[in-house]
Amino acid sequence: MVGRSIRSFPIPLTPMRLATIDIGTNTAQLLVAERDGTELRRLHTAERFVRLGEGVDARGRIGREAQGRLLDALRDHLQEARTYDVDRVSAAGTSALRDAANRDAVLASVRDALGLSVDLLSGTEEATWSFAAARAAFDDRSGACLVVDVGGGSTELIAGAAPGQTRSSPAEAIRDHASLDVGCVRLTERCFASQPPSPGAVTTAAQVVDEALAARAPAVGDAPVLIGTAGTAAALALVHAGPASTWDALHDNGLVLSRKDVRDWRERLLGRSVDGILELHPEAMAGRADVFPMGVILLDRTLAHYDLDDLRVSPYELRHGLALRLLASAPASPS
């Protein structure tokens, strides 16, 4: 996937190639991009399913097998990034690393084995750069917006101003945010003993999500635009578009899912086996078919909580936000 511009900047900037790696609870995602004039152009993306958060909810630690998967994925990502002759590499970890008691040892093993330092993002930092990336796809929108990022260990909800309303920094545009400890991996492990799950398990999962939203969902203005970012929202858009759809389809003005679309897919997914879910869209479901129904429950309950009619799916996610963070700290070309 190449050649897409993901952000413009107000002043001329020197050319620069960079790579970012988002280490999440379920995946490790790579972006290679180039700053070209006033645009950030995507050159390459890759995704590896490491399931870093496997067992973290129950044991509080990242297991040895998960650490091995992470090292393998990061080694591959670094090799790919080097083929593009990047100027800078930035890697950041989120929920699973934040929550793990042995996170320092895991980060040290990555540094020792690969020479790669991984930033541990706070909830606020993760929200800021997820928000910056998600709303970059909709520069024509104004008014209130709410970004939802369903991760493996947590769900991020960020309320703020759409880009058409303000030219302030991402942090200044955010009005409120919450990091809810209800991600698709965490809740699948906690609530679903099988797939399809029992009706009682589905009811329990929905109640857990509703309680988390009731306790901490951020306030947002009237009639907000709901923007879904990251794997669950993007994968659902592709499943909805059909098995022949590709990730690049998300860049053609994005995709919109109605509340009914999300609810209908929730019911269909909850009635299928993992293999049946994988058959819906083998590319989009690879590595996430077993936790995907829970992710769609999280989207469905978010729409219901805010009583919104549709979900706009952004093609940009935290790895793109990390690129924006790098560029925000990079020097401009001399005048």
Q: Which of 137, 118, 103 is nearest to 20 (CA)?
A: 118
Instruction: Write the pLDDT tens digit of every residue in 220-251.
Output: 877 788 999 888 999 999 999 999 887 766 66
Mean local confidence (pLDDT), 307-334: 83
**pTM of the full predicted structure?**
0.82
Within this chain, domains 4-123 and 138-315 share the same CATH topology: yes
Query: Given this structure, which CATH class describes domain 4-123?
Result: alpha beta
Instruction: Write the pLDDT tens digit of every residue in 271-280.
Output: 999 999 999 9
pLDDT of residue 165 exceeding 70, the answer is: no
Mean local confidence (pLDDT), 295-308: 97
Domain boundaries defined on the chain: 4-123, 138-315
Banded pLDDT at 334 (limits 50, 70, 90): very low
3-state SS of the chain: helix, strand, coil percent to 5?
45, 25, 30
Check residue 247 and give its pLDDT: 72
Cβ neighbours around 263 below 10 Å, total: 15
Q: Do 154 and 121 contact (CB within 8 A), yes or no? A: no
Mean local confidence (pLDDT), 190-203: 96
Report the CATH fold assignment for 138-315.
Answer: Nucleotidyltransferase; domain 5 (3.30.420)
Mean local confidence (pLDDT), 151-177: 78
Distance CA 236, CA 242 (A): 10
Strand partners, 5: 41
pLDDT of residue 252 exceeding 80, the answer is: no
pLDDT of residue 1 exceeding 50, the answer is: no
Check residue 5 and give its pLDDT: 54
pLDDT of residue 174 exceeding 80, the answer is: yes
pLDDT of residue 206 exceeding 60, the answer is: yes
SS (H, E, C) 77-108: HHHHHHCCCCCEEEEEECHHHHHCCCHHHHHH
pLDDT of residue 74 exceeding 90, the answer is: yes
Alpha-helix runs per DSSP H in the chain: 56-59, 64-82, 95-99, 103-114, 123-135, 170-173, 184-191, 199-216, 231-241, 259-270, 274-280, 282-285, 292-306, 318-329
Helix (H, G, I), strand (E, B) or coil at 154: coil
pLDDT of residue 257 exceeding 90, the answer is: yes
Angle (nearest 5°) at CA 114 between 111 and 119: 45
User: Which residue shows structure tokens 């929108």?
Assistant: 141
Q: Do 209 and 192 contact (CB within 8 A), yes or no? A: no
Banded pLDDT at 170 (limits 50, 70, 90): confident
Distance CA 191, CA 9 (A): 45
pLDDT, the chain, mean? 87
Mean local confidence (pLDDT), 25-36: 89
